[in-house]
Amino acid sequence: MSAPLHRGLRHVALRVTNLTRSRTFYEQLLGMKVVWEPDSDNVYFSSGPDNLALHQIPPSELSGYQPVKGQLLDHIGVILESPEAVDRMYRDVEPRLAQLGGQVEKLPKQHRDGSYSFYFSDPDGNVIQALFEPSISKLTWK
């Protein structure tokens, strides 16, 4: 197998129904920092090595927007350094999720491959996995 032609999947862009609500969710729950806000319909965050963009669904499309029951995107993930960090994050975010428009989707669980995680959703139903994965969690970023 040849070497990858990229340096990793470091950018995700999500369309949102309410940019203000989603911005608050990602800032307060995941500690994302704004790195660029080109206009009132777009905001770009960073966690350091990663970038998340939120794009307001235009008003002309919003009235016809109906969240799908099954989305093509299964989930996005945030990597944590240990199973204990997953549990700490769960204890921290669980009481605040409903207030910020999200909810717990799956409780913390050990997986067959040695990983450990829980799942929660943002205000638009996008699922986020808080994950300890033995091989990825030990990597360092420059």
Q: Walk me through the domains of the chain, giving residue ranges and CATH numbers.
A: 11-59+74-137 (3.10.180.10)
DSSP strands (E only) in the chain: 11-16, 33-39, 42-46, 51-56, 76-79, 103-110, 116-121, 127-132
What pTM value is reported for the model? 0.88
Q: List the chain pLDDT tens, one digit each, 142 residues.
A: 576 777 778 899 999 999 999 999 999 999 999 999 999 999 999 998 889 999 999 999 887 776 665 567 889 999 999 999 999 999 999 999 999 999 999 999 999 999 999 999 999 999 999 999 998 888 876 6
